Structure 1
Amino acid sequence: MAYNSVNPYTDHYIGIDVGTGSARACVINSKGDIVGLASENIGLWQPEQGYYEQSTTDIWRCICTSVKRILDQQNLDPSTIRGLAFDATCSLAVFSEDTDEPVSVTHPRYDNDRNIVLWLDHRPVEETAKINATEHNLLRYVGGTMSIEMEIPKVLWLKNNMPKELFDRCKFYDLTDALTHMATGNENRSFCSTVCKQGYVPVGVDGSVKGWQGDFLETIGLGDLVKDNFRRLGGVNKENGHYLSAGEKCGTLSEKAANELGLPAGIAVGSGVIDAYAGWIGTVGAKVHLGGGALSSEYASNDWHQAFTRLAAVAGTSTCHIAMSPKPVFVKGVWGPYRDVLIPDYWLAEGGQSATGELLKHVIETHPAFQTALSTAESYNANIYDYLNEHLKDMAAKVSAPSISYLGRHFFFYGDLFGNRSPIADPRMTGSVIGLSSDKSMDGLALYYYGCMEFIALQTHQIIETMNESGHQIKSIFMSGSQCQNKILMELMASACDMPVLIPQYVHAAVCHGAAMLAAKAASADRNGKSEDLWSIMDRMSKPGRAVLPTEDQHEKDLLKVKYNVFLEQCHSQRKYRGEIDDIVNKWSENTGKMDEKEAKPKAEQGEKAKAGGGLNTVLPGSVV
Structure 2
Amino acid sequence: MWMDHRAVDQASRITETGHSVLDSFGGIMSPEMQPPKLLWLKENLPQLCWKSATHFFDLPDFLSWKATGSLSRSLCTVVCKWTYSASSGWDDTFWTQIGLEDLKENNYSRIGQQVCVPGSPLGSGLTEEAAADLGLPQGTAVGASLIDAHAGAIGLLGADISGLHLPCEKQPISSRMALICGTSSCHMAVSQQPVSVPGVWGPYLSALLPGLWLIEGGQSATGRLLDHMVKGHAAYGQLKQEAEQSGQHVYSYLNLHLENMAAAMEETHLDQLTAHLHVWPDFHGNRSPLADPMTRGLVTGLSLSQTLDDLALLYLATQQAIALGSRHIIQAMTQAGYDITTLFLCGGLSKNTLFLQTHANATGLPVVLAAEPESVLLGAAVIGACASMDCASTEEAMRRMSRAGEVIRPNPELQSFYERKFRVFLRLYELQKECVGLMEDTSRSTRQLH
- Same fold, judged at TM 0.5 (above): yes
Query: Pairwise mapping of residues 255-334 of structure 1 onto structure 2 (< 5 A)?
Result: 255-288=128-161, 289-291=163-165, 293-297=167-171, 305=172, 307-334=173-200
Match of 1:390 in 2: 256
1:375 equivalent to 2:248? Answer no
Q: Is the 8 A contact 1:418 1:430 kept in 2?
A: yes
Distance 2:233 2:317 in 1: 13
Match of 1:62 in 2: none
Match of 1:188 in 2: 72
Deviation, 1:122, is 2.0
Distance 2:69 2:279 in 1: 50
Higher relative contact order (CA 8 A, sep 6+): 2
Greater CA deviation, 216-225 or 164-173? Answer: 164-173
Greater CA deviation, 326-335 or 580-589? Answer: 580-589
Is the strand fraction higher in 1 or 2?
1
Match of 1:551 in 2: 411
Q: Are the structure 2 counterparts of residues 258 and 443 from structure 1 closer, same or farther at C-alpha, using a change threshold of 3 Å?
A: same
Report Cα offsets for 1:370-391 as digits up to 9, x if no partner.
1001100000011110001110
Deviation, 1:226, is 0.9
Query: Pairwise mapping of residues 378-527 of structure 1 onto structure 2 (< 5 A)?
Result: 378-507=244-373, 509-524=374-389
Q: Is the 8 A contact 1:287 1:545 kept in 2?
A: no
1:197 equivalent to 2:70? Answer no
1:249 equivalent to 2:121? Answer yes
Distance 1:292 1:551 in 2: 15
1:534 equivalent to 2:394? Answer yes
Please give the secondary structure, in 2, of the residue aligned with 1:336. Answer: strand
Residue identity in the other structure for 1:233: I
Deviation, 1:264, is 1.6
1:155 equivalent to 2:38? Answer yes
Deviation, 1:580, is 3.6
Deviation, 1:290, is 4.3
Match of 1:30 in 2: none
Q: Is the 8 A contact 1:290 1:500 kept in 2?
A: no
Distance 2:263 2:234 in 1: 24
Number of residue pairs aligned between Structure 1 and Structure 2 = 447
Distance 1:506 1:583 in 2: 54
Q: Is the 8 A contact 1:295 1:475 kept in 2?
A: no
Distance 1:165 1:497 in 2: 48
Please give the secondary structure, in 2, of the residue aligned with 1:226. Answer: helix
Q: Is the 8 A contact 1:295 1:309 kept in 2?
A: no
Report Cα offsets for 1:136-180 as digits up to 9, x if no partner.
110111111111111111111121123448533421111111111
Residue identity in the other structure for 1:328: P
Report Cα offsets for 1:46-83 as digits up to 9, x if no partner.
xxxxxxxxxxxxxxxxxxxxxxxxxxxxxxxxxxxxxx
Deviation, 1:488, is 1.9
Q: Is the 8 A contact 2:151 2:376 kept in 1?
A: yes
Please give the secondary structure, in 2, of the residue aligned with 1:540. Answer: helix
Residue identity in the other structure for 1:188: S
Gap regions ≥5 residues in structure 2: none
Match of 1:223 in 2: 101
Distance 1:418 1:166 in 2: 27
Q: Is the 8 A contact 1:284 1:312 kept in 2?
A: yes
Distance 1:419 1:165 in 2: 30
Please give the secondary structure, in 1, of the residue aligned with 2:110. Answer: helix
Q: Are the structure 2 counterparts of residues 565 and 165 from structure 1 closer, same or farther at C-alpha, using a change threshold of 3 Å?
A: closer
Is the helix fraction higher in 1 or 2?
2
Q: Is the 8 A contact 2:166 2:342 kept in 1?
A: no
Greater CA deviation, 577-586 or 189-198? Answer: 577-586
Match of 1:233 in 2: 111
Match of 2:20 in 1: 137
| Residue of structure 2 aligned with 1:562, choices 398, 417, 420 | 420
Distance 2:49 2:319 in 1: 46
| Residue of structure 2 aligned with 1:339, choices 205, 212, 215 | 205
Distance 2:135 2:351 in 1: 34
Q: Is the 8 A contact 1:276 1:322 kept in 2?
A: no
Residue identity in the other structure for 1:214: D
Report Cα offsets for 1:187-218 as digits up to 9, x if no partner.
11111010100111222xxxx4xx11111111
Structure 1 segments, 4+ long, off by >3 Å, are 163-166, 586-589
Q: Are the structure 2 counterparts of residues 383 and 255 from structure 1 closer, same or farther at C-alpha, using a change threshold of 3 Å?
A: same
Distance 2:269 2:259 in 1: 9
Please give the root-mean-square deviation of Cα atoms over the aligned residues, in Å: 1.7
Match of 1:301 in 2: none
